Structure 1
């Protein structure tokens, strides 16, 4: 029998809590600080010294150790390949931070994660990624670690305050958008597997929902890969433009955050977009997104139930309560546990002293994750399968999602 490996969600939770433990014990790494610059002399001054490179080295060692631990849990560690690949990713992320520190860009408020993404996209689509640089591209793992660490900065009192509203919005959005998406896919004459995966991805939580749905219906992996590509590609312009639309429309942080969290289909993109609007909007965006994540296990159960009983001749295994647990995103539990820890178990002084370093670690996990998203995303993939019909169905469903969720966000969070 093959050796059973630990699920990626649990690996992310373990690494995140080891990180929290080390920070609480006093290990508070200082990561690269690139000062705002406007001319070449300032650039030379920063990169000519050892400080920024020493800080970058510490960042690299921290991430590399975490990645080695993650690979050890899966039973296969290729140290040299991981080393080379991660050097490449960290260098791109450092370059993104350098670009984001340019004075006119800094004043505009554009986050480093956006430049990590853009640089990754340029390299992937214009040059291509050699195989030697691929082993450390672990996007979902990095995002999940960052999201668990985010829990340390979201106090549980805030979850109790807005979590019920987040669930209310999520239920209304998930059911309505799912059925609309399924109807659109049927109009485009897509098969049942595409309908189920696209509907779940648009309405629930993007990549995780698509993966859970594919597992529940034993879907085609090629179709799943295409849906994941659609999620990542469409999330990019949403992440870039929706925060500025929210600012232009003078939305409150609660409404703007709920809108972002309810529509953008990847958790990392939600965090990046929410960060552009500030901590308050980020809080609501995260709470709404996690409210949708909470529904993922139940959605997978009902999808599995429907698929099993609507295709009795295929002999699918009947779903059980185990299905709910297996499909539930475990990193959400990590987020809640981290929030409980910093809300109730630790002293205010300890929380104040450790939240800063954890916030920096969280930011760098997201920056590295977005470098990876760019590196593994090909714009040409959107046109390859079935003459672009899945892509058109996905985009139309997502446009409906954007409009409907905005209305619900105003109704639910308009008085926050």
Structure 2
């Protein structure tokens, strides 16, 4: 029997991330170059250097190769010309974001490339337009997951175990409390069953991934799923921008601030970006809490399948089994843990020290590409049209309640 080899997106991102790790360990360093400048003359001198263009060309070739390899692993057609054009379009926008970040004034403010990648993408999507030929390359979840596996190289496993038990405790408490609260709010706003389930899961568990898993569990409407995903991405933007500064204004301990953001911001990449504004320690706690919620995704999908099957007499959803937990479990989390194990226990301290900076550089590239795509995929005008804006208002209300509940739980557990 001739069966075509195909991996899921999660497994493909794990393969691509570990390919990046082995490339770094072999001595190659594909990453954005430092583009530091403060004046027009410095900028001109920067771009007159032939070595810069050579580095950028090599980086783009690596990104394109990784993207094409991912398509092959997932059993998709290469579409080389479209892939080349689309990836070049995204790469140039992200490169412009890196250039803006390199300005001395911006650099002193501590603003990251992911922020400007997002803003540039939003400008193009909402003010200009996204070329049709570029849309196949807009794979934000794919890029984010790849970067998150790489993030495991910089988080020592002992820290995960130490913070993870607390993160899991917070996640269990928050997921149950927020899910039922969000479901009650959605019912008060008159949302239908599909939207209630998807919005409640997206707010309480882990955003886009939870909405997708819930939609699969209840065989939800794909248009409603796309709408919920757009809500998640749009609402995550102001949360990512303002929550770090609110945490500083409240003078929260770093662990509490990280756990708070990790438990409320609904896209994992935005969690990392927000945590970065407060430092490496905040990133660690934010990521561990977010991953704890991701771990609960499979169990939550199983529970939702059970509820949906037995509460809807006319439902055609198949009876769920334990296999559902494994199918819905985010495999990139396993990649994250494996990367952490590799850098914690297998590699020497000297190798880890030499490789960590380069790994972070590649991770920055993938996150930058992801947030460029999020901006390009988000249109504000479409968010508040559906059903006179009631789903959007329900989502925002539930998210505000989520912020308050998670802050209280994070303070009790992590302070």
Same fold by TM-score, threshold 0.5 exceeded? Answer: yes
Q: Is the 8 A contact 1:274 1:282 kept in 2?
A: yes
Q: Distance in 2 between matches of 1:324 and 1:312?
A: 23
Residue 154, structure 1, aligned to residue 173, structure 2: no
Render the CA deviation track for 1:231-266: whole Å, top value 9, x for unaligned.
000000000111111122221210110011000000
5+ residue gaps, structure 2 = none
Q: What residue is the counterpart of 2:318 in the other structure?
A: 317
**Contact 2:34–2:102, Cα closer than 8 Å, also in 1:** no
Q: 1:30 to 1:403 in 2, by over 3 A?
A: closer
What is the TM-score when the length of structure 1 is the normalising length?
A: 0.97
Work out the CA distance in 1 between the residues paired with 2:114 and 2:24: 23
Aligned equivalents of 2:66 and 2:265: distance in 1?
28
Stretch of structure 1 that moved more, 246-255 or 206-215: 246-255
Partner of residue 85, structure 1: 86
| Contact kept in structure 1, 2:124 and 2:130, CA below 8 Å | yes
1:34-73 to 2 correspondences below 5 Å? 34-35=35-36, 37-73=37-73
Aligned to 1:277, what secondary structure does the other structure show?
Answer: coil
Structure 2 counterparts to residues 130-279 of structure 1, below 5 A? 130-279=131-280
| Aligned counterparts of 2:135 and 2:30: Cα–Cα separation in 1 | 27
Asked if the contact 2:308–2:315 (Cα under 8 Å) also holds between the matched residues in 1, the reply is no
- Quote the residue 2:107 is aligned against: 106
Cα distance change of structure 1 residues 38 and 26 upon mapping to structure 2, 3 Å threshold: closer
SS at match of 1:246: helix
Q: Indicate conservation of the 8 Å contact 1:34/1:52, yes or no.
A: no
1:194 and 1:70 map into 2 onto residues whose CA distance is 32
Query: TM (normalized to structure 2)?
Result: 0.97
On the 8 A contact 1:153/1:339 being kept in 2, the answer is yes
Residue 374 of structure 1 is matched in structure 2 by 375
User: Could you tell me whether the CA contact under 8 Å between 1:193 and 1:219 is conserved in 2?
Assistant: yes
Q: CA deviation at 1:345?
A: 1.1
Name the counterpart of 1:342. 343
CA change 1:367–1:30 in 2 (3 A) is closer
Between the aligned partners of 1:298 and 1:304, the Cα distance in structure 2 is 10
Aligned-residue offset at 1:382: 1.1
* Pairing 1:353-368 to 2, within 5 Å after superposition: 353-368=354-369
Q: Which runs of 5+ in 1 are unaligned?
A: none
The CA RMSD over aligned residues, in Å, is 1.3
**Cα distance in 2 for residues equivalent to 1:281 and 1:92:** 28
Aligned equivalents of 1:135, 1:41: Cα separation in 2: 38
Equivalence for 1:302: 303
How far apart, in 2, do the equivalents of 1:2 and 1:378 lie? 40
